[in-house]
């Protein structure tokens, strides 16, 4: 028998032994869950038998309350035991499918040699001896980090160096080892090749078995306040974030829960794409949001410019936008708000019934607001004003009850409405006059609730006018010519903002500033609880937005990941992003990591796509083989559709999912329509709220962010369609979505942005 066979046999035996123990544990847990369930049911059905009921008068007596409480506690304990066992069972069930994926042998100085196995979670025998180590345990780090020989890892007691003598990887299916490799590399290419060779699906997968060394650094970083990751398309940024969240939840278990972690992602489609990764690793998903959701939920009365409009709005790269997106603009707002402490807050009248005569005039509100001491800050001022207004509101109740509308209202009440006003059905009054007084007061208080709510919600501040006032003040606070902005253009811009406000519409480059001004004026409480904030696809955020997120989550540690080469909304502005935001964090606590290797695509595809970039030379390809990209030039639309259908046919035969990526939504609709006419099955993804499905998709570029497909067809890649230099990032984003096969179709001349070494593609 060869040594390899020997080893394999040995490992299979070990696996069988572990599996046996796992199954025994599973049976044990299942039965204890059953009995816990039974007991809880029993308790529940006898709940009131055991509780001493003693209803005396209106309130439950102390003894009854205590008895209910005790019974409840008993139930809760059972419930907890049950929950704990159920969680354990689900872990064990996962382990049963794949107990572990690696083994490392190592020796610590002056200690005996050790062998450990690493899996998705830990598993111990009755004596608490670990048979499987969680991949996030300190010692597991050596599997990801080191080559054979001396290697260090961080333990809770500090750095420990060991001598690693073996590193073995397993592929296990249905209790059988189907493949195993001994490797000297951090993670052997062989294993990675196997994993990457698997077909894509509508759901992202965890990379826990093959985390790369550089990725591991991101995952296990606990020191940085700002961890900034710049990584090529497909270098595993998104994968690393999700693994990092799982790691942090493990590392700080008991202190950190998934609700203390928030992740901002490019769109809803993407959220859907990644939603299974954490649950597969046995963790709960974090709070997930898009920036649009984050701001729009606070402005229910306004329409906030959406992704679609933002993409189609070509003015986005003007000098004015650049200025409004900058940290300078953020700081200007702060200054402006400070000056409001002395004067300048714009108020609104508050009305009640009479639409002509205000209930509280704006002059009176202003007088109240500025009557407070000048060392008040803005938020105290607003609180005091609110209180003052509520006091005067209460004072007005009496005089209001004497008005004619109140007695009219009482006359017109139905018996049912009347009954609802009394405190008790049998309420008695000394006289009719007293009863009328009581009812009048009730009616007035109810009607004034609207006014009360307006005060409570700070609706006496004229926010829109205030924001416009700020924009008007900008030229006095800063020299706009430094931003290449003419005064007249600025005035025109203000007028445009005003017009859109009148239509209750707000642009993306106003919304954060608008909310920030509101927050500064009202002292809205920011979220001190959030401990970790993750921002994926950072290149599509403006410096202003990042400042605003930092302001909203002052205690959170930030992880920002992105590829400045894929900036499809902010375009070239993104280059200065890191510089602009680095000022927000302590430089000592800022770590910047670069990921240069692309794992998504085959060597042929990466070699092609990286040339599209002006600075793409840093991107390394991973040695996985596939066909070269194909360029299809055809003379007219009929011919391009024919080619499209031919490629789809080939891809489907080869069992590949294909995304046809168009520049915008309009052309995606046209393509989908044409395919439908020809009875070719394809799903149009028109909004981010749709679901990803198997089969062929037609999708506009800005919704394809962060996703990947076996095969991509770039539609209408002509010069006419893509010619601006700032569309480079867009073309790169589209083409880098492909894992295995890329076809590019166009009529007439091809886009100059696709001018690359002809050796790297084939023309068909």
Enter the tokens of residue 154.
């961080």
3 state SS of 75: helix
Give 311-355 as a 3 state SS string: HHCHHHHCHHHHHHCCHHHHHHHHHHHHHCCCCCCCECCECECEC
Sole window of 156-164, 207-215, 313-321, 548-556 interacting with ligand ATP (rule: CB under 6 A): 207-215
Asked if residue 654 belongs to a known ligand binding site, the reply is no
Q: Is 236 annotated as a binding residue?
A: yes
Residue 575 CB-half CA count within 13 A: 7
| Residue 695 annotated as lining a ligand binding site | no
Tokens 């729009």, located at residue: 296
Q: Which long-range contacts (CB under 8 A, 24 or more apart) does 702-705 make?
A: 702/307, 702/308, 702/311, 702/568, 702/569, 703/267, 703/269, 703/307, 704/659, 704/661, 704/733, 704/734, 704/737, 705/266, 705/267, 705/270, 705/537, 705/540, 705/566, 705/568, 705/733
Contact 741, 628 (CB under 8 A): no
Q: Which residues does 14 contact at the CB level (< 8 Å), separation at least 6? A: none
* Among 122, 141, 169, 212, interactor with ligand ATP by CB under 6 A: 212
* Backbone φ, ψ for residue 449 (5° rounding): -55, -35
Q: Is 711 annotated as a binding residue?
A: no
Tokens 């969240």, located at residue: 245
Q: Is 624 in the site for ligand ATP (CB under 6 A)?
A: no
Interface segment toward ligand ATP; rule CB under 6 A; list 93-101, 206-214, 310-318, 405-413: 206-214
Interstrand relation of 102-108 and 158-173 (parallel, antiparallel or unpaired)? antiparallel
The reply on whether position 238 binds ligand ATP by CB under 6 A is yes
Written as one string, the DSSP assignment of 99-116 is --SEEEEEEETTS--EEE
End-to-end CA distance of the chain: 52
Q: From CA 548, how far away is CA 519, in angstroms rounded?
A: 10
Closest to ligand ATP by CB, 211 vs 659, is: 211
Task: By CB under 6 A, name the one of 145, 214, 283, 563 that touches ligand ATP.
Answer: 563
Half-sphere exposure at residue 691, Cβ-oriented, CA atoms within 13 angstroms: 6
Which of the stretches 151-159, 228-236, 320-328, 453-461 binds ligand ATP when contact is defined by CB under 6 A?
A: 228-236
Q: Is 735 in the site for ligand ATP (CB under 6 A)?
A: no
| 3-class SS string, 703-731 | HCCCCCEEEEEECCCECCCCCCHHHHHHH
Asked if 538 is part of the footprint of ligand ATP (rule: CB under 6 A), the reply reads no
Candidate ranges 226-234, 275-283, 401-409, 550-558; the one touching ligand ATP (CB under 6 A): 226-234
Give the binding range for ligand ATP (CB under 6 A) out of 233-241, 246-254, 320-328, 336-344.
233-241
Strands 557-562 and 532-535: parallel
- Taking the complex as a whole, how short is the minimal distance between the CB of residue 237 and ligand ATP, in angstroms? 3
- Which position among 121, 140, 235, 327 is part of the footprint of ligand ATP (CB under 6 A)? 235
- Minimum Å gap between C-beta 311 and ligand ATP is 17
For residue 326, the number of C-alpha atoms closer than 13 Å in the C-beta half-sphere is 17
Give the Å distances, CA to CA, from 221 to 46, 214, 232, 385. 52, 11, 20, 46
Task: Check whether 639 is labelled as a binding-site residue.
Answer: no
Task: Determine whether the annotation assigns residue 238 to a binding site.
Answer: yes
Does the footprint of ligand ATP cover residue 730 (CB under 6 A)? no
Calpha distance 139→137 (Å, rounded): 6
| Helix (H), strand (E), coil (C) string for 551-585 | HHCCCCEEEEEECHHHCCCCHHHHHHHHHHHHCCC
User: Whose CB is nearest to ligand ATP?
Assistant: 236
Task: Give the tokens for residue 490.
Answer: 């600025």
Minimum distance of ligand ATP from residue 490's CB (angstroms):
36
- Going by DSSP bridges, is the β-strand pair 762-763/630-634 parallel, antiparallel, or unpaired? parallel
Please tell me the count of residues contacting ligand ATP according to CB under 6 A: 23
Return the residue of 153, 706, 712, 744 that touches ligand ATP, per CB under 6 A: 706
Binning the chain into helix, strand and coil, the percentages to the nearest 5 are 50, 15, 30
Residue 145 interacts with ligand ATP (CB under 6 A)? no
Decide whether 233 or 688 has the Cβ nearer to ligand ATP: 233
Binding-residue pattern over the window 594 to 613 for ligand ATP, x denoting contact by CB under 6 A:
-----xx-------------
- CB distance 170 to 102 below 8 Å: yes
Stretch that binds ligand ATP, among 128-136, 230-238, 319-327, 349-357 (CB under 6 A): 230-238
Q: Compute the CA torsion angle 511, 513, 514, 516 (nearest 10 deg).
A: 120
Please identify which residue in 145, 708, 710, 743 interacts with ligand ATP, judged by CB under 6 A: 708
Among 22, 142, 180, 196, binds ligand ATP (CB under 6 A): 196
Residue 706 Cβ vs ligand ATP, minimum distance, rounded to whole Å: 4
Q: Is 401 in the site for ligand ATP (CB under 6 A)?
A: no
Judged by CB under 6 A, does residue 552 bind ligand ATP?
Answer: no
Task: Decide whether 91 or 210 has the Cβ nearer to ligand ATP.
Answer: 210
Does the protein bind ligand ATP through residue 616 (CB under 6 A)? no
**Smallest distance, Å, CB 598 to ligand ATP?**
8
CB nearer to ligand ATP: give 455 or 753. 753
Q: Which of 215, 509, 604, 751 binds ligand ATP (CB under 6 A)?
A: 215
In Å, what is the CA distance from 254 to each residue of 124, 209, 250, 251, 260?
20, 25, 9, 9, 12
In the list 466, 736, 747, 751, the residue contacting ligand ATP (rule: CB under 6 A) is 736
Using CB under 6 A, which of 19, 75, 195, 630 touches ligand ATP?
A: 195
Cα–Cα distance measured from residue 519 to residue 170, given in angstroms and rounded to the nearest whole number: 54
- What sign does the CA torsion over 312, 508, 239, 159 have? positive
Q: Which of 29, 172, 192, 530 binds ligand ATP (CB under 6 A)?
A: 192
- Told to check if 171 binds ligand ATP by CB under 6 A, we report no
User: 232 a known binding residue?
Assistant: yes
Q: Is 237 annotated for ligand binding?
A: yes
Establish if 140 lies at the interface with ligand ATP (CB under 6 A): no
The single residue among 29, 116, 224, 233 that binds ligand ATP, judged by CB under 6 A, is: 233
Minimum Å distance from CB 161 to ligand ATP?
Answer: 25
Segment interacting with ligand ATP (CB under 6 A) among 231-239, 433-441, 586-594, 624-632: 231-239
Give the residue with the Cβ less far from ligand ATP, 243 or 385.
Answer: 243
* Minimum distance from residue 533 beta carbon to ligand ATP (Å): 17
Residue 713 touching ligand ATP (CB under 6 A): no
In whole angstroms, what separates CA 507 from the centre of its chain?
21
Among the residue ranges 89-97, 209-217, 378-386, 644-652, the one whose residues contact ligand ATP (CB under 6 A) = 209-217
Q: Which residues are annotated as a binding site?
A: 231-238
Q: Which residues are annotated as a binding site for ATP?
A: 231-238
Interface with ligand ATP (CB under 6 A): 192, 195-196, 205, 207, 210-212, 215, 231, 233-239, 563, 599-600, 706, 708, 736
């Amino acid at each position: 028998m060869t040594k390899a066979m020997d080893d394999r046999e040995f490992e299979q035996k070990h696996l069988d032994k572990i599996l046996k123990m796992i199954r025994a544990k599973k049976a044990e847990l299942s039965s204890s869950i059953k009995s816990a369930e039974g007991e809880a049911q029993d308790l529940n059905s006898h709940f009131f038998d055991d509780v001493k009921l003693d209803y005396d008068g209106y309130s439950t007596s102390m003894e009854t309350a205590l008895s209910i409480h005790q019974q409840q506690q008993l139930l809760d304990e059972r419930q907890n035991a049950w929950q704990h066992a159920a969680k354990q069972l689900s872990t064990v069930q996962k382990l049963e499918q794949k107990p572990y994926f690696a083994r490392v042998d190592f020796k610590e100085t002056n200690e005996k040699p050790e062998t450990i196995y690493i899996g998705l979670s830990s598993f111990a025998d009755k004596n608490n001896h670990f048979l499987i180590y969680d991949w996030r345990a300190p010692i597991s780090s050596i599997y990801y980090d080191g080559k054979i020989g001396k290697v260090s890892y961080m333990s809770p007691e500090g750095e420990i160096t060991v001598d690693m003598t073996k590193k073995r990887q397993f592929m296990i299916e249905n209790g059988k080892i189907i493949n195993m490799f001994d490797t000297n590399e951090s993670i052997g290419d062989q294993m990675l090749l196997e994993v990457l060779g698997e077909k894509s699906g509508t759901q992202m997968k965890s990379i826990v078995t093959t985390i790369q060394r550089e990725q591991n650094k991101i995952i296990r970083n606990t020191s940085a306040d700002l961890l900034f990751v710049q990584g090529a398309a497909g270098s595993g940024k998104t994968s690393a974030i999700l693994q990092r969240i799982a790691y942090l939840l493990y590392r700080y278990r008991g202190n950190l829960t998934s609700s203390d972690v928030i992740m901002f992602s490019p769109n809803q489609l993407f959220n859907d794409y990644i939603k299974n990764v954490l649950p597969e690793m046995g963790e709960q998903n974090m709070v997930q949001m898009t920036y649009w959701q984050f701001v729009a939920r606070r402005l229910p009365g306004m329409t906030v410019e959406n992704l679609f409009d933002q993409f189609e709005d070509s003015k986005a790269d003007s000098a004015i936008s650049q200025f409004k997106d900058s940290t300078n603009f953020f700081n200007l707002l702060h200054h402006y708000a400070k000056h409001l402490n002395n004067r300048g807050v714009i108020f609104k009248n508050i009305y009640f019934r009479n639409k002509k005569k205000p209930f509280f005039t704006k002059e009176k509100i202003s007088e109240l607001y500025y009557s407070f001491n000048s060392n008040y800050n803005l938020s105290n001022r607003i609180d005091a004003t609110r209180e003052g207004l509520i006091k005067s509101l209460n004072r007005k109740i009496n005089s209001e009850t004497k008005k004619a509308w109140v007695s009219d209202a009482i006359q017109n009440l139905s018996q049912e409405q009347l009954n609802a006003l009394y405190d008790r059905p049998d309420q008695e009054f000394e006289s009719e006059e007293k009863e009328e007084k009581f009812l009048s007061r009730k009616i007035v208080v109810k009607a004034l609730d609207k006014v009360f709510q307006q005060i409570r919600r700070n609706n006496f501040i004229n926010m829109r006018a205030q924001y416009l006032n700020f924009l008007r003040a900008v030229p006095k606070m800063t020299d706009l010519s430094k931003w290449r902005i003419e005064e007249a253009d600025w005035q025109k811009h203000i007028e445009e903002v005003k017009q859109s406000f009148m239509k209750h519409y707000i642009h993306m480059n106003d919304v954060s500033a608008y909310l920030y001004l509101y927050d500064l004026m009202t002292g809205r409480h920011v979220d001190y609880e959030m401990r970790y904030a993750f921002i994926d696809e950072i290149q599509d955020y403006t410096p202003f937005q990042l400042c605003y997120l930092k302001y909203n989550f002052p205690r959170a540690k930030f992880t920002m990941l992105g590829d400045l080469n894929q900036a499809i909304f902010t375009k070239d502005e993104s280059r200065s992003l890191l510089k602009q935001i680095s000022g927000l964090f302590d430089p000592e606590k800022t770590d910047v990591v670069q990921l240069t290797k692309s794992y998504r695509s085959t060597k042929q595809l990466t070699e092609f796509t990286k040339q599209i970039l002006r600075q793409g030379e840093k991107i390394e390809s991973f040695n996985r083989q596939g066909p070269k990209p194909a360029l299809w030039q055809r003379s007219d639309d009929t011919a391009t559709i024919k080619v499209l259908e031919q490629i789809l046919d080939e891809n489907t035969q080869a069992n590949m999912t294909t995304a046809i990526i168009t520049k915008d939504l309009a052309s995606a609709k046209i393509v989908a329509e044409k395919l439908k006419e020809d009875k070719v099955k394809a799903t149009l993804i028109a909004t981010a709220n749709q679901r990803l499905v198997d089969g062929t998709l037609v999708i506009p570029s800005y919704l394809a962010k962060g996703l990947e497909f076996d095969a991509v067809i770039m539609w209408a890649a002509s010069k006419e369609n893509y010619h601006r230099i700032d569309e480079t990032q867009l073309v790169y984003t589209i083409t880098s979505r492909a894992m295995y096969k890329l076809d590019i179709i166009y009529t007439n001349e091809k886009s100059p942005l696709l001018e690359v070494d002809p050796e790297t593609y084939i023309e068909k």
